[in-house]
Amino acid sequence: MVNNDLITLGHGSGGLQTKRLLDSHIFSKLNNDYLRKADDGAILEMNGKAVVSTDSFVVSPFIFPGGNIGDLAINGTVNDIAMCGGIPKYISLSFILEEGLAISSLDLVLDSINHAANESGVEIVTGDTKVVEKGKGDEIFINTTGIGELMEGCQLGIDRIKDGDSIIVSGNVGTHGIAILSKREGLEFETQLKSDSTNLNQLVNGVLNEFGKDIKFLRDPTRGGVSSTLNEISQSSGLGAELNQIDIPILEEVGSACEMLGLDPLYVANEGIFVAIVSEKIGTKVVEFLRKEIKGKDAALIGAINQDLDSKVVLNGIIGGRRVVHMLSGEQLPRIC
């Protein structure tokens, strides 16, 4: 049965309607001991060092091929925790809903949140729900903040990167951004492309377990794409990066769409891959390790850190030629996550 009820300002009042929305939808969908207490916060067991990360999600449209803002909000924060060397454990969940949102849409998003949280092994421990007037928001925004336990035996940091280190991507580049674009108004090209949004924590924790301190740095190249991530690394480390275009994995339909739209896939957002900078000696071993896993099956070694490049990212083209890949300077695809 479809729920035709709509979100009203009363659902954000803190009174009876808020309580009903929480009890009948949010707590009933995300049923756990933490939330059932309906306290203003949660009490957690923490051992040793904690990793914390926050993200607000404003993706438009909030339902897109391959996912919706709900799983994106869980996976995005889970992945950020993993990139810092953490094992994600707990997550907070905060909604800003626009008056007039169908409660059935909220239910759909809650189901995805629940599924994504279960998949990645995190518990939603506390939350908040606000409502803004129609025209003062855009259907649904979500903030998630994650807390994880720092893995022992890993040591990640841009300051650990050295000349010659290998640059690896764990999968195809640009898929999420093009999937969102394919759904956007006025850009309907023929494609069955789905967002690559997924949790990467088990894969990343596995790599860190296997290779320990030889993994120097990890980052998920979301907004700004692989090029912005590598430019940040180059600028912060004072070392450059050299990439070989022929080695960069990309789905054929993403490549075609980028060509058609005049986009460079290196700038397009990703939600299901990570960039790893690792010791040269383990570069190919890490790729082999990743390729054994479904989420890493398209992993590739795409280049190396090069101290002679003066903090620049340089791409060797497929048909020859070299060019500098800059950081994204303006806005390419707004509201991609």
User: Binders of a copy of itself among 75-104, rule CB under 8 A?
Assistant: 80-81, 83-86, 90, 92-96
Question: Is the dihedral angle over the CA atoms 185, 189, 190, 191 positive or is it negative?
Answer: negative
Question: Is the dihedral angle over the CA atoms 183, 68, 82, 223 positive or is it negative?
Answer: positive
> Considering only residues 118-137, where is the footprint of a copy of itself by CB under 8 A?
125-128, 130-133, 135-137
- Is 41 an interacting residue with respect to a copy of itself (CB under 8 A)? yes
- Is 222 an interacting residue with respect to a copy of itself (CB under 8 A)? yes
Nearer to a copy of itself, 10 or 255 (CB): 10
* Closest-CA residue to 11 (of 143, 129, 138): 129
CA distance 103 to 98: 11
> What is the DSSP-derived secondary structure letter of residue 336?
-
> Considering only residues 142-171, where is the footprint of a copy of itself by CB under 8 A?
143, 145-147, 150
- Is 48 an interacting residue with respect to a copy of itself (CB under 8 A)? yes
For residue 299, count CB atoms less than 10 angstroms from its CB and return exposed for 0-12, middle for 13-18, buried for 19 or more. Answer: buried
- Is 257 an interacting residue with respect to a copy of itself (CB under 8 A)? no
> Considering only residues 276-315, where is the footprint of a copy of itself by CB under 8 A?
none
Q: How many residues bind a copy of itself (CB under 8 A)?
A: 83
Q: 26, 27, 30, 53: which one contacts a copy of itself (CB under 8 A)? A: 53
- Is 23 an interacting residue with respect to a copy of itself (CB under 8 A)? no
> Considering only residues 169-188, where is the footprint of a copy of itself by CB under 8 A?
none
Looking from the CA of 81 toward its CB, the CA atoms found within 13 Å total 33
Cβ 261 to a copy of itself shortest distance, Å: 16
- Do 265 and 250 form a contact (C-beta atoms < 8 A)? yes
Structure tokens at 173: 């580049």
Nearer to a copy of itself, 156 or 250 (CB): 156
> Within the chain, what is the greatest distance between any pair of CA atoms?
66
Q: 3, 5, 6, 17: which one contacts a copy of itself (CB under 8 A)? A: 17
